[in-house]
Structure 1
Amino acid sequence: MRRQDARVAVITGASAGVGRATARLLARRGIAIALLARGRAGLDAAAEEVRAAGSRALPIEVDMAEYDQVVAAGQRVAAELGPVDLWINNAFSSVFAPFQQTRPEEFRRATEVTYLGYVHGTRVALAHMTPRDRGTIVQVGSALAYRGIPLQAAYCGAKHAVVGFTESLRCELLHDKSKVKVTMVHLPALNTPQFDWLLSRLPRRAQPVPPIYEPEVAARAIVAAADRPGRREYWVGAPTALTILANRIVPGLLDRYLARTAYDSQQTDRPAPPDRPANLWHPVDGPGGEDQGAHGSFTPRSHSHSAQAWLSRHRLVATGGLTGAAVGVLAWRRH
């Protein structure tokens, strides 16, 4: 697959977590980066990291659920940084709660940010890329885009919707013989600040379902997808691959397994603090409004590498190695 090189990139949800880690990686390449998010403290800190790496940064406060704000952000990026080559949709919000304890307005808001935010970002990206007939759009997804789990109905529903929307769009781009590429990157459980600031009605503190990976694992996969968007999607981490494949083979068995285990596995043993923040309606950079960075509070339990993700990014190397090993074994057996 032909490598795509970008000079100007847009990252939504860039103030923390995966977006923040991805901005750091791209900045090391000298790519100018527009950072879109709601939290001012996180945006300013992310911009400083990009500049420290020697790249240009343009932090823009944007609510991705508001289409007009996204349009204005795209216009500003083009005017101040130049034509958009790469757009990474990553922003989201959600609610940790059983569906029947999630209020209709909360479900709608989570859907507008997590699903319509991707639709808005993609529409604006295409408006800038289609006239030039070049560019790449990366949709950051999740294993939960293919397998819904308890306590995250709003998030799972939105991620499922992103997959269906992206598949439709890909077909249309192929029909038009467009050179604009779109790909998806599906992620495992990650150590990001979301578990400290998403709206939660769980009795205990929310946590990612182990095994947990650092956001840099996701960032490396996103950058690889941006480089080579010819693949429809990338699966990051063995848990993601196993979850998606198992759901295709034994979905009913997974229903029962998750009904029995997923409530406890998404909560720690610690009671949830009564004054916990929630960023569903307003940005929350941290407990005191400070920059939260890329990492959450599960670093001691998190993996900084994934063998599966490396093999997924380096298919030719892996295939060549396996082929060489097979040839070696056959040669040995003949002698």
Structure 2
Amino acid sequence: MIAVITGASSGIGRATAFEFARRGYDLVLAARFGAGLEEVAQECNSLGGRALAIPTDVAKEEDINALAAQARESFGGFDVWVNNAAVGLFGHFEEIPTQDIRQLMEINLFGYIYGARAAIRQFRSQGYGTLINVSSMVALVGQPFSIPYTTSKFAIRGMSISLSQELADEEDIHVCCVMPAVIDTPIFQHAGNYMGHAVKAPKPVIPAKRVARTIYRLTKKPQEQVTVGNMSRMMRFQRLVSPAQLFDKYMQKMISSQHFKRKPSRPYQGNLYEPLTNWNKVNGGWLPEDSSKKKGTTIAAVAGLALAGALGAVYYSRLKNHPRPATPSSARTWPPAHPEPSLQPDPISGTHRGSTLERQQNNTAGLHGTTIIAHGSTPGTAAGPTSGITGSTSTGTTGNPTSGSTGTPNSGVTGTHTGGLGGETKGLGA
């Protein structure tokens, strides 16, 4: 068997290369970091496989086409193509520089599109083959503060399902989508970060070799979609049975507290534009050597999710049977739209997040001259209609400037409508 693996220099890609090599696969390995990729190829050769290291930027279609051509020249073709190369990006959605979002999409989405097209052309010509796209648990439930990454993973899942439908008449050509939970890889060290706080892996974390074994099993018994880790399955279940508002609030609080450290972090592009030469290994140091020590934590977390889902269902049932009267707006106090901890001035950019500051991002801070409007403005409120659906006091369609539903022209921040029981409207004024 011959397999092409992208993103093979670290994390899931590296673990998958080792798993395949132990099974006797011939491998064509791709990543931007040539030296790190060569280390993986040497290790695969020592494990019993034959491996080629081909430095590749998956964001460039010509690189992907050259990768497929090299596989044909060296091994006569390939049986399996694993789309895995990806980068991470954290921050409040409206504050992440647009060009950084675009770069993430070039790697995480277009890199998969280019790889899938190259693979399907080869598979059609030979009449068989398996394409495996590594997506994520977030493609099932979403995730705040990493919306570009989440969007790319949703798109990968959608592409996989749709491509399976398009190839439905090709019985020996398979498209598989893998959706892992939180994995112990260096993606969190490599990720771009505009949150103001360092990133960490939220618990429970599972080893990358579990994903690698799942990918290997798909080459023998293909499935359209498969999850890895109990958290992935339980989060999907909870999303289905819990009221959407309850689940969304839970996700916001959980990610805020579990995915970020307390210590401040300057704006950081990570490996968006260039590969990083550190942490190029399978694990990211989020698990002890003996990962069995974490089993109790995992079981407890899963049990907690199941309980939260059940409570959510009960809450929703009671709410439907006993609707609560609308609470007057004067009796309720709303928190700021995006409560955030105060930070010390950034030693690089010389700014901090504040109520009236605009931060000018610069190349020294690792950005591209993008101006970001900081949060922290005072929300205006006005009572809405008793239905609690819109923020207007007259038409029930849109808020007006006096209601605070729209920021002033100088604020650069549009207002948001919050329905809820009281039917109030909040906006981010200057």
Please give the range of the TM-score, normalised by the shorter of the 2 chains: 0.7 to 0.9
Q: Show the 5 A alignment for 1:77-96.
A: 77-96=71-90
Map residues 239-250 of structure 1 onto 2, 5 A cutoff.
Answer: 239-250=231-242
Letter in 1 for 2:259: Q
Task: Please give the per-residue CA displacement for 1:208-240, whole angstroms capped at 9, x wherever unaligned.
Answer: 2210111111111111122211x2211111100
Distance 1:115 1:292, change over 3 A: same
Match for residue 296 of structure 1? 284
* Residues 184, 286 of structure 2: 8 Å contact kept: yes
SS of 1:64's equivalent in the other structure is coil
Alignment of structure 1 residues 23-172 onto 2, 5 Å:
23-172=17-166
In the other structure, the counterpart of 2:190 is: 197
Whether the 8 Å CA contact 1:213–1:302 is kept in 2: the answer is no
Alignment of 1:192-231 (within 5 A): 192-229=185-222, 231=223
SS in 2 for 1:256: helix
Q: What CA deviation, in whole Å up to 9, does each residue of 1:172-231 have, x standing for no partner?
A: 101x334211111110101111111211123332112210111111111111122211x2
1:177 to 150, 154, 170: 170
Look up the equivalent residue of 1:167 and give its one-letter code. I
Q: Which amino acid aligns with 1:215?
A: A
Q: Which residue of 1 aligns with 2:228?
A: 236
TM-score by length of 2: 0.65
Which residues of 2 match residues 246-265 of structure 1 at below 5 A?
Answer: 246-250=238-242, 251-265=244-258
Question: Which range moved further: 195-204 or 97-106?
Answer: 195-204
Q: Distance in 2 between matches of 1:83 and 1:140?
A: 22
Q: Give the aligned partner of residue 357 of structure 2.
A: none
Q: What amino acid sits opposite 1:285 in the alignment?
A: T
Amino acid at match of 2:226: Y
Distance 1:110 1:276 in 2: 14
Provide the aligned length of Structure 1 versus Structure 2.
294
Structure 2: where are the runs of 5+ without partners? 296-430
Q: Compare CA radii of gyration and give the structure with the larger one.
A: 2
Aligned residues of 1:209 and 1:266 also touching (Cα < 8 A): yes
Q: Distance in 1 between matches of 2:264 and 2:101?
A: 24
Query: Post-superposition shift, 1:299?
Result: 2.3
Report the Cα offset of residue 276 of structure 1: 6.4
SS of 1:299's equivalent?
Answer: coil
Deviation string, structure 1 residues 242-270 (Cα, Å, up to 9, x no partner) = 11222233233211111222112101344
Distance 1:209 1:105 in 2: 27
Change (3 A) 1:275 1:151: closer
Change (3 A) 1:266 1:306: closer
Q: Which is further off, 204-213 or 274-283? A: 274-283
The one-letter code sitting in structure 2 at the alignment partner of 1:135 is: G
Q: Indicate if the aligned counterparts of 1:212 and 1:301 stay in contact, CA closer than 8 A.
A: no
2:337 maps to: none
Distance (Å, rounded) in 1 between the aligned partners of 2:220 and 2:14:
18
Q: Residues 303 and 268 of structure 1: is their aligned pair in 2 closer, same or farther, counting only changes over 3 Å? A: farther
Deviates more, 1:30-39 or 1:259-268: 259-268
Distance verdict in 2 for CA 1:302–1:200, change over 3 Å? farther
Report if the CA contact (8 A) 1:196-1:277 is conserved: no
- Measure, in 1, the Cα distance between the counterparts of 2:161 and 2:294: 27
| Residues in 2 aligned to 1:306 and 1:22: alpha-carbon distance in whole angstroms | 22
Q: Partner amino acid for 1:188?
A: A
CA contact (8 A) 1:17 1:295 kept: yes
CA drift at 1:275? 9.3
Given that 1:89 and 1:140 are in contact with CA atoms closer than 8 Å, whether structure 2 keeps it comes out as: yes
Supply the distance in 1 between the matched residues of 2:253 and 2:281 (Cα, whole angstroms). 34
Deviation per CA, 1:4-40: give whole Å up to 9, x if none: xxx1001110000000001001001111011111111
- SS of 2:288's partner is helix
Distance between the aligned counterparts of 1:255 and 1:266, measured in 2? 16
Secondary structure class of the residue paired with 1:137: strand
CA distance in 2, matches of 1:154, 1:131: 35
Does structure 1 conserve the Cα–Cα contact (< 8 Å) formed by 2:31 and 2:37? yes
SS class of match (2:132): strand
Q: Which residue of 2 aligns with 1:318?
A: none
| Conserved 8 A contact 2:196-2:267 | no
SS of corresponding position for 2:54: strand
Q: What displacement does 1:94 show?
A: 2.5
> Hey, which of these two has a bigger chunk of helix by percent?
1
Normalised TM-score (structure 1): 0.83
Q: Deviations over 1:88-146 (max 9, x none)?
A: 11111121111112111111111111111111111000111111111101111111011
